[in-house]
Structure 1
Amino acid sequence: MPPAKKRTRSYDPTKIRTAVLAQFTTVRTAVAGLTPEQLAAPTRLGDWTVRELAAHLTMVLGSVARYLDAPEPEKLEVPLQDWPFRTSSAAGQVDEDVHAIVDAGTDLDALFAHAVDRLAKTLPGAADTRLVPSLPQALDCARAGETPTGGMTLADFMVTRTVELVVHTDDLNDALPGLNVSYDRQALAACTRLLLDALATKAPGGSVEVRVPPYAVVQCVEGPRHTRGTPPNVVETDPLTWIRLATGRTTWAAAREAAQVSASGERADLGGLLPIMS
């Protein structure tokens, strides 16, 4: 029997745009209330303090307007589910850009306001099918003054913004216990689904069912495909634990020890496949 044809998950572009703006607004409000001592607190992101983390969050939204102002790439080259695998190669340049912003002493609220203002001028009239650059090519071409040859659709790129915003909101909450910045439900759902689909892309197959209720289920890992009844290999966890596993914020062993993941079946060990992005 030929393998089942993999379906590409679809997202409602209007809902995703709304979710991105909602999560960004929530983070902006939280950052505006932080003290200098809180902004200087360390994070789990290397040498970044909360101030660097907040500066990067402004770049997450600012990149949308910046890419829409840039020349449109020549062709579609990056499927959405492949995006998580491309981010690590741009980490060094992102780190340099964040430190440059912080070292310049620009007021954080001004950075948040500037990102929102630029987006308000560029996003409403942009078609969801419009191509934008993808990392790391966007950074390379921007430095060289060149037009990217390949990119992804604006609709897909906006889904990637939910990942950046949700993951870094979690980083912010980790750095400042008690802050409890909330997660937009649509943003959390999209982030969870994209990282699950990336797992299925990395380890295609149908022998393991990974459940992250209430948002998504995927089958992955080579082996006997489950078709009906109770799957022989099942992994289940909550959205934030899955996101932390997928991005290297926690390990498979730690999550299992803390009873944050249930796994049954001889193939239901995802430790060797994680993280998806880091």
Structure 2
Amino acid sequence: MDPVRVAFSAECALLTEILAELVDADLDRPTDCPPWTVQELIAHVRTGVGRLADMLAAPAPPHAEVDAAGYFGGAKFTAQVDADRIAGGRRDALQVDRAALATELERAWRATDAAVAAAPTDWVVRTRHGDAMLLTEFLRTRVVEVGVHGLDLAAALGRPPWLTPQAATVIADLLTGGTPTPAALRWDELTLIRKTTGRAALTAPEKAAIDAASFRWLAFGR
């Protein structure tokens, strides 16, 4: 199996297990992705992991134009797009029974995984932003969505991060463009992901090490 697909299924399966343990009060907790609650953030993730099945059912663009790093480019995430994304998460949360969040997430990611397994490896899909991307490249963005928002959910629930090793490797490679982090930082993959996505603040020595090495990573917001 492709490592990206392995990471996607592993991270989704683990998140499904976590969600099955939640009680009703957990769902109303605030998150660091305001104004979303835990329930609304879960709904956003569920929509994101299920999006690819419909994309694969649509006609394929003639060729890819954007890779996974380009997908997260800041130019397309305007204030209006961000507002629509927030509103969509809140709408999606109202459409799913609170008791069925884990079941609905599992249904969505398994449908995506089955669709990916049945598609040619060089298949091209078109994203909701209009980008034409190779299937594997778009699936890489889904690993980021599930993994990084999993960190947000863990923080909101007061739990230790549960990022799987498979997903951590895929996300870290994407965020750094495959460039090794400066040795002085001594970051593991989880720390790198938290720091580069704004989930943890950079210290003054870390900023100095980054500047000294001219280290640059993918711009990535919440």
The TM-score normalised by the length of structure 2 is 0.83
Q: For 1:160-216, what per-residue CA distance to the aligned partner results, in whole angstroms no more than 9, with x for missing partners?
A: 2221111011111111113x3522212101100100018x7xxxxxxxx7348xxxx
More strand by share: 1
Amino acid at match of 1:192: A
Offset from partner CA, 1:49-92 (integer Å, 9 cap, x none)? 11111112212320121211222123211023322215634433
- 1:1-278 aligned within 5 A: 14-86=2-74, 88-89=77-78, 90-106=81-97, 107-137=100-130, 150-178=131-159, 180=160, 182-197=162-177, 210-211=181-182, 235-251=185-201, 255-256=202-203, 261=206, 263-264=208-209, 267-268=212-213, 276-278=219-221
1-side partners of 2:31 and 2:200: how far apart? 14
**More helix per residue: 1 or 2?**
2
Greater relative contact order, per chain length (Cα 8 Å cut-off, separation 6+): 2
Unaligned runs of 5+ in 2: none
Q: What is the Cα deviation at residue 236 of structure 1? A: 4.5
CA RMSD in angstroms, aligned pairs only: 2.8
CA distance in 1, matches of 2:118, 2:137: 16
Percentage of matched positions with identical amino acids: 25
| Separation (CA, whole Å) in 2 of partners of 1:21 and 1:266 | 36
Gaps of 5+ in 1: 1-12, 138-149, 201-208, 213-233
Greater CA radius of gyration, 1 or 2? Answer: 1
Aligned partners of 2:121 and 2:135 also within 8 Å: yes
Q: d(CA) in 1 for partners of 2:54 and 2:208?
A: 43
Q: In the TM superposition, what is the alpha-carbon distance from 1:40 to its structure 2 partner?
A: 0.7
> For structure 1, which segment, 40-49 or 57-66, has the greater mean C-alpha deviation from structure 2 after superposition?
57-66
